[in-house]
Structure 1
Amino acid sequence: MRVFVAVQLQGCSICYMVSGVLLFDADISIHQCSSHDCIAEQELDVETIESVDQDENTTKLASLEKTRDMPLGVTVRNEHDRVIISRVVSGGPTEKSNLLSEGDETLEINGVPVRGKSVNDVHNILMHVKANFSYDPSEDPYVPCRELGLSFQKGDVLHVTSQDDPNWWQAYRDGHEDQKPLAGLIPDLLSSGKLWCAKKGKKQRKKLLFNPSKNIEHYTEDILTYEEVALYHQPPNRKRPIALIGPPNSGHDELRQRLLSLEPDRFAGAVPHTTRKPRAHEVNGREYNFVSRQSFESDLAAGKFTESGEFEQNLYGTNTDSVGQVVNSGKICLLCLHPRSLRVLCSSDLKPYIIFIRPPPPPQERFSTLLTRETLEKVREMEHSYGHLFDAVITNTEQEKSVSELLRLIDKLDIEPQWVPSDWVS
């Protein structure tokens, strides 16, 4: 994670881009932060920092590459409405960098002005993680105090307030910070991995987000137990693409077509690429982007296709460039994808919003049929292997209700910030 810290110095202001996590605890010390002397400076216009006085001062951007093994060597305090650096520890990375001094005022963190905020407010800005597993302290024989253990469900966002203990972090569930006097204990990243693997009966620790060499029918995807997340509010002119995921009989493609027909000025599909020759009525860039086989294979090797295939010796696929064209036009790009395609989409800069479409529950008299069992198994596999990527889930019992729910979720993206992987923001 990269944390941007703007501080007001005597005679100028400097914006620090720190790669890592800053955590302020109750005694307003900074923990779990360290750096080495890898400094890059860049002149920026002073107006890029909202809280900086508009004078002859310039803004400098310094980058410190951090690890988690050493403290940054600096503490802060509140002084009236300001957050002030109160101490630079002798011999620490901050002193060696010669970039921060006692008395400097912290102006912004991750672009959020902190003047007027308490130090306790400051760490709300800093570290949140999404849990990719469920945890019940009453079932954990290793939790040091069950009464202090924090239970959570898969998908919950946790505000981590302390990582001082090597095995147990302190955290709140997002939104509960003001409702409970004490933070709860959650297993740290390594302990949670061991705990999850013990539940799954696996010997190896789950740690990778994707394993594209395997397919959904034959593997359980490796997943991070916690994923660091940050709040993101989509700009008005750059809408997040909507990816609908579901088994073949879930009706997700029909829902996509319904949205496209309902609001064609708001929604659009990505124009696919193909290596076949255009037919008489077809226009390049409308029905298809017609490209050479060499160009198609080059983009395919570069990982630019979310999905691709071959039919009658011609290649077809959806290129992330086509998705980007829709996004840049100000419209919302609607996609129906196989879950394996999410690997490419999520690693792009497109910031997709992913909705899983469940098929309706089968009638009781058909529950035991082979087709129904296969469908239910496919749903379980998708949710187990890719559920950590889903932003929302809709059970498609009735199309009109599902369309209304889709529109409600899409409308919410314009109103409320959403939790996304922190790398997408930094």
Structure 2
Amino acid sequence: MKRKGLLIVLSGPSGVGKGTVRTAIFNKENQEFTYSVSATTRSPRAGEVHGKDYFFETREDFEEMIEKGELLEYAEYVGNYYGTPMNYVEKTLESGKDVFLEIEVQGAIQVREKMPDGVFIFLTPPDLDELESRIVNRGTDSDEVILKRMKKAREELELMKYYDYSVVNDKVDNAVDAIECIIKSEHLRIDRNMDIILEMEDGFEEAMEDKK
């Protein structure tokens, strides 16, 4: 029996380092996750590639995707839309592959409602001063946007209670190790393996019948 893939959702405040941690995970040898690329209406940052980091869409095209119900989740954040194409995620999970989502907090809450059996991990900064320093040092946002992001970060930290795990991103390697341990543990949970267990029980009963 083919086991359905695991949906892993990594989320947290803007500037906490979600992209950096996700990249570090995918750069490791022998990782078997499939990364679900999100769509967004924001402009690409330096080095970002369409179809690899994000699908960069116009606002009109994104709103058409919303109307057609083609998104697993979406949110408008600091003036831009972010969302996850639904069809790709569902097909990949059914094929038995794990899907890794790196998304904003608002979107993660929507995914939780639609796919509650996913694994939801909240990435936190060591403290808010460190978070602000990371956003400022990124050098991609104006002072006005930085203030908006910090205000939003405080609000998002209050939503941590809707997640399964919290991981502090003090050092990227430490965060990666913690996330990998979480995923390994989730794969071993009994409720995720009941179909296989029941199949084994059926096989055992058939074998016993044959011996009678």
Q: Same fold (TM over 0.5)?
A: yes
Q: CA deviation at 1:239?
A: 2.5
In 2, the alpha carbon distance for the partners of 1:334 and 1:376 equals 26
* Alignment: residue pair count: 165
Gaps of 5+ in 1: 1-234, 275-284, 310-314, 420-426
In 2 relative to 1, CA 303–252 (structure 1 residues): closer, same or farther, beyond 3 Å? same
Q: Which of 218, 226, 245 is the aligned partner of 2:11?
A: 245
8 Å CA contact 1:238–1:327 kept in 2: the answer is yes
Q: Which of 178, 181, 190 is the aligned partner of 1:408?
A: 181
Given the two structures, how large is their TM-score scaled by the length of structure 1?
A: 0.32
Equivalent in the alignment of 2:171 = 398
Q: Which of 6, 20, 23 is the aligned partner of 1:257?
A: 23
Q: What SS does the corresponding residue of 2:36 show, helix, strand or coil?
A: coil
8 Å CA contact 2:124–2:166 kept in 1: the answer is yes
Equivalent in the alignment of 1:352 = 118
In 2, the alpha carbon distance for the partners of 1:263 and 1:358 equals 25
Equivalent in the alignment of 1:382 = 156
Give the aligned residue type for 1:416: R
8 Å CA contact 1:259–1:267 kept in 2: the answer is no
In 2 relative to 1, CA 299–388 (structure 1 residues): closer, same or farther, beyond 3 Å? same
The 5-angstrom pairing of residues 12-411 of structure 1 reads 237-263=3-29, 265-272=31-38, 299-305=65-71, 306-307=73-74, 317-349=83-115, 351-361=117-127, 362=129, 378-384=152-158, 386-411=159-184
Q: Which runs of 4+ in 1 moved over 6 A?
A: 285-289, 293-296, 369-376
In 1, the alpha carbon distance for the partners of 2:105 and 2:26 equals 21
8 Å CA contact 1:271–1:322 kept in 2: the answer is no
8 Å CA contact 1:308–1:318 kept in 2: the answer is no
Given the two structures, how large is their TM-score scaled by the length of structure 2?
A: 0.59
Equivalent in the alignment of 1:176 = none
Give the aligned residue type for 1:354: F
- TM-superposition CA deviations, 1:134-156 (whole Å, max 9, x none): xxxxxxxxxxxxxxxxxxxxxxx
Q: What SS does the corresponding residue of 1:262 show, helix, strand or coil?
A: coil
Q: CA RMSD in A?
A: 4.4
**Greater alpha carbon shift after TM alignment, 404-413 vs 317-326:** 317-326
- TM-superposition CA deviations, 1:15-63 (whole Å, max 9, x none): xxxxxxxxxxxxxxxxxxxxxxxxxxxxxxxxxxxxxxxxxxxxxxxxx
In 2 relative to 1, CA 288–336 (structure 1 residues): closer, same or farther, beyond 3 Å? closer
8 Å CA contact 2:14–2:153 kept in 1: the answer is no
The structure that has the greater radius of gyration is 1
In 1, the alpha carbon distance for the partners of 2:39 and 2:149 equals 31
Q: CA deviation at 1:388?
A: 2.9
In 1, the alpha carbon distance for the partners of 2:104 and 2:31 equals 26
In 2 relative to 1, CA 412–271 (structure 1 residues): closer, same or farther, beyond 3 Å? same
8 Å CA contact 2:25–2:31 kept in 1: the answer is no
Gaps of 5+ in 2: 41-50, 137-142, 193-212
